[in-house]
Amino acid sequence: MSNYPLLSLAIWIPIVAGLLVLATGGDRNAPLARLLALLGSIAAFVVTIPLWTGFDHAFVGMQFVELESWIPRFNINYHLGVDGISMLFVVLNAFITIIVVAAGWEVIQEKVGQYMAAFLIMSGLMNGIFTALDGILFYVFFEASLIPLYLIIGVWGGPNRVYAALKFFLYTLMGSLLFLVAQMYLYFQSGGSFSILEWHKLPLELGPQIWIFLAFLIAFAVKVPMWPVHTWLPDAHVEAPTGGSIVLAAIGLKLGAYGFLRFSLPIAPDASHELSTFVIALSLIAVVYIGFVALIQADMKKLVAYSSIAHMGFVTLGFFMFSALGIEGALVQMISHGFVSGAMFFCIGVMYDRVHSRQIADYGGVVNTMPKFAALFMLFSMANAGLPATSGFVGEFMIILGAVKLNFWVAFAAATSLILGAAYTLWMYKRVIFGDVANEHVAELSDINAREFVILLVLAACTLWMGVYPQPFTDVMHASVNDLLHHVAISKIQ
């Protein structure tokens, strides 16, 4: 493990780069703003590479730990660390930031500096969420990350952007207030400590655990989002610019799911077992019902947004089966969803930039004018539907395998999502891409340029790599997942 403060660098390099981009003066120096943003995002990604290469797969516990006193009076510390559960998300977040900066390179022409800066600052704040080991530090990053995304949707979004941004902000903020109340309770129960790792060791009775679990559930369910608090997501995706949709799907939705593993299961293990049937039921509703909702969408972005809710339903299902297959499958699904959903939203953005419509009915025969794009879009559509040899298959297969051990009917209900996923994704692809050229707008389309081709090619490589050879990802998380399951199982026995 490195002696360098890699986690602090992963947090503060993109934030400082974002502030430097803001200092360029916006549109007066747009080329400089773009260049600084790209260099800042690449530098932030480079410092995360040693996290992967230097990570000890066999070590159980936090690695690359940093600990400094922040507010001594209340025992609040600047405490950072990663384990096999969180490290991959730090790397994914830094990687997606480069994709987002490149995606907005030519598309964003107004307030360029502010746009790029918002993504860089948000990237740093999200890395703070994945690495924070102090409850208040986690909460500060958790809430602060709302602000850049709120601005991205509200300033650069579509016609109803203000409504979508407000709805997103209010939903997530209200959920977080209960999270803060639960933290205050844990602070006093632990004798005045905000250390998340110390909270994991608290011998709480079942009654308090249930209340804490419910507070966490509301906060994290909104972020995932789980049914029925999912309604903000389709609005946010439809109105957000392409970059906003990519980062919201690839990273934003993972924050709530990560919260379940860092807070709900280890702090309230008995309540997690007690209420697991309830959470599994909500997850299956998201998987099946939302799949049918996606099937009837006329807007491509809204269809992929509902698809994300269904895929994240798989994730929460995997968590609450309390098996290594389930949790590792859910983590793989989260990483895969970052690649695939990001690529899907980018593909829709590519078409929207040319035709200025997201309606499926406004397309048809795109393969005739954009053959390279059609080929890459097909790969991501297949991955979204869970085709074997793509990353979309691996996580879902592991979760269904784990569900079979738990209950056949739970596995059967979960497996219907593979059918529904194929139905809504491939039906959309068929109507948009295949057939004769539908109208003059499609006839005038130009195929993807070099920048768009490189972005899609990189995402395609990641999707295939994880689908064909997922072992590098599962090896990282294996020891941490087993340790978490051991902790939850021992608590249940006691």
Q: Best-predicted range by mean pLDDT among 282-291, 336-345, 351-360, 401-410?
A: 336-345
Global pTM value:
0.90
User: What is the pLDDT averaged over residues 184-195?
Assistant: 87
pLDDT tens sequence across 29-56: 778 888 898 999 999 999 999 998 888 8
Inter-residue contact 138 to 118 (CB < 8 Å): no
- My answer on whether omega of the bond before 228 falls inside 30° of 0, hence cis, is yes
Cα angle 30-36-38, degrees, rounded to a multiple of 5? 105
pLDDT tens sequence across 321-346: 888 888 999 999 999 988 999 999 99
Distance, in Å, from the CA atom of 186 to the CA atom of 316, rounded to the nearest integer, reads: 24
For residue 393, CA distances in Å to 70, 401, 440 come to 44, 12, 37
Inter-residue contact 320 to 280 (CB < 8 Å): yes
Give me the residues paired with residue 68 across strands: 78
pLDDT tens sequence across 7-36: 999 999 999 999 998 888 766 777 888 889
Distance, in Å, from the CA atom of 249 to the CA atom of 172, rounded to the nearest integer, reads: 15
pLDDT tens sequence across 233-258: 888 888 888 888 888 888 888 888 89
Give me the residues paired with residue 80 across strands: 66, 132
- Neighbouring CB atoms inside 10 A of 21's CB total 31
Inter-residue contact 52 to 86 (CB < 8 Å): no
pLDDT tens sequence across 413-461: 888 878 888 888 999 999 988 888 778 888 888 888 889 899 999 999 9
Of 263, 311, 321, the residue nearest 290 (C-alpha): 311
